[in-house]
Structure 1
Amino acid sequence: MVKSVWRRLWSVAVLSATLIVFSPDMARAAADVPVPPENLLSDQGEGDLSDADIDFVTKVRLAGLWEIPAGEMAQEKSNSARVKRIGRNIADQHKVLDELTRNAAKKLDIDLPNEPNKDQKGWLNEMEEAESAKDFDEIYIDRLRAAHGKIFPAVATIRASTRNDTVRKLAQQANQFVMTHMTLLESSALVDFEALPTAPAPNAATSAPARVLSSAEQAPASETNVPLILAALAGGLAAGAFATRQIVGNRRGGYRNRRTRYYNG
């Protein structure tokens, strides 16, 4: 009986390891990488809804409208088993994200588009007109990785700034999808990282030290104010010295009392 139980447990372990090895897409986050718990977020449609919020929900919907057919196209036009799997996973996951987006839009009374925009249609046409499977793979990976790179910071901005709880939850969910899709696309080994846009240089103005006023800009102290300034400084020093003695005395007294109680106890 015990051997039978152990045999079943061993079979399950081997099957799980096999799925992870041969299908890395199914593997979860590493043990030391936290996954944000969605159950801690409210989703009541409460909070002000900004134009940026509406634009974000619309863009998440648009992403699915072209990435789903692109992933399905990969099943027909690619000869790479890896690209086909990436396309299938991304398409299937976008169907889930699209349902979350439509539910959020319904709750917030946001009108969503039902077809890709002009740019997205152009990308789909590029894939459709690819002359070879290799060309298709490069176009597919390049276009999707570039699109995810653009939406990634937009998701972070909305997640950090929105006042609406439903948009906040959708942004957190979308963030997980986008990171997963970027990782899947990069696993194709077809991403040209050197061609990706570089991050803008840090804003020097935000890190510059405070400007020191020149002598001409500083307001000169009149002769009649000098004694007052000196008197104020002296008073401040005296008050500080008195407060310091009081604090030190109280701490010493408390310490002595605690020592007495400790040794007499």
Structure 2
Amino acid sequence: MEEVRVVAIELGSRLRQVAGITVAVVALMLLQPHAARAAEDPGVPVPPNQLITDTGEGEVTAADRDFASRVRLAGLWEMPAGQMAQQKSDDPRIQQIGKDIAAQHAVLDQLVRAAAKKLDIELPNKPNADQQGWLGEMRAAQGKEFDQIFVDRLRAAHGKIFPAIATIRASTRNDTIRKLAQRTNQFVATHLTLLESSNLVDFSELPTAPPPTTAPAKTDTNAVLSANDTAAGQKPASPLTTPVVAVVVVAAFGVAFLVTRKMWPSSPRRRRRYYN
């Protein structure tokens, strides 16, 4: 009897170990897909600018030249506007936005001048009449009034050039202009975000986008998302459903049962131990 009790104790200990292993396996199988999907999520990608050549090859159109000119003009008035924000605003947030925009436009100005030199594009050297008027408004304002004018004027200007950048990026034949457009898009998107972080943008007053000329075709949203994931090299999400969880649990306990059977002494062996 003593030997039977020892065997029973050993089996109980082993069963507890197997149960613990089973629970761990099930937990890992349930959690691992979620962890894998989180690790695979790239977030918002940064355009790989280094993959675009910058040799000056390709036809330079009138639209390309106008685009380079507009990029240059943006810097000519937004750099002094950013400097005024640092001097005239009482709001530390506006001061920082002005500092960031002025510094980033200095970099963008170098890029557009380099592109223009390579492609023999003549650039303006002073802001246009509208831009000079906006700067005049800022010079005449102080405190909160200045803050509102600064944000309103810059947000409106960035909103106007945004679609122009997309048109050039998608249509230009010249690789230098293509790279400039892509980089400019990154600057403008950043500036829009900075200006909106001031909490002074009245989105209800922004221009309304024109309605589509034709009704868009009906699409299966799930199919489109799945196709986009596949095209981006990502595996479509496969959330665990209740049947899948049930199969995983049954399989795990099946493995545990087989392991237990192998560790459980056979009946003849128990009888020999008992009667010997």
Mapping of residues 110-189 of structure 1, within 5 Å? 110-130=121-141, 132-189=142-199
Note if 1:91 corresponds to 2:102: yes
**SS of residue paired to 1:98:** helix
Separation in 2 of the partners of 1:62 and 1:201?
Answer: 30
1:182 partner amino acid: L
The CA deviation at 1:206 is 8.1
Distance, in Å, in 2 between the alignment partners of 1:53 and 1:64 is 17
Larger Rg: 2
Q: After the TM superposition, which residues 237-252 of structure 1 pair with which residues of structure 2 at under 5 Å, given as runs? A: none
* Shift, 1:166, TM fit: 0.2
Following TM superposition, by how much is the alpha carbon of 1:205 offset from its aligned partner in structure 2, in angstroms? 7.7
* Alignment correspondent of 1:22: none
Listed one character per residue, the Cα deviations across residues 178-203 of structure 1 (whole Å, up to 9, x for unaligned) are 00000000000000101000111001
Question: CA offset at residue 76 of structure 1?
Answer: 1.2
SS of alignment partner, residue 159 of structure 2 = helix
Aligned to 2:205: 195
2:45 is the alignment partner of 1:70: no
Give the aligned length. Answer: 178
Shift of 1:57: 0.3
Distance 2:136 2:206 in 1: 22
Give the partner amino acid of 1:101: V
CA RMSD of aligned residues (A): 1.6
* CA distance in 2: counterparts of 1:95 and 1:89, whole angstroms: 10
Aligned counterparts of 1:158 and 1:149: Cα–Cα separation in 2? 15
Identity within the alignment, %: 67
Instruction: Indicate the SS of the match to 1:204.
Output: coil
Aligned-partner Cα distance in 1 for 2:137–2:69: 23
2:66 aligned with 1:55, yes or no? yes
5+ unaligned residues in a row in structure 1: which ranges? 1-29, 208-265
Q: CA deviation at 1:142?
A: 0.3
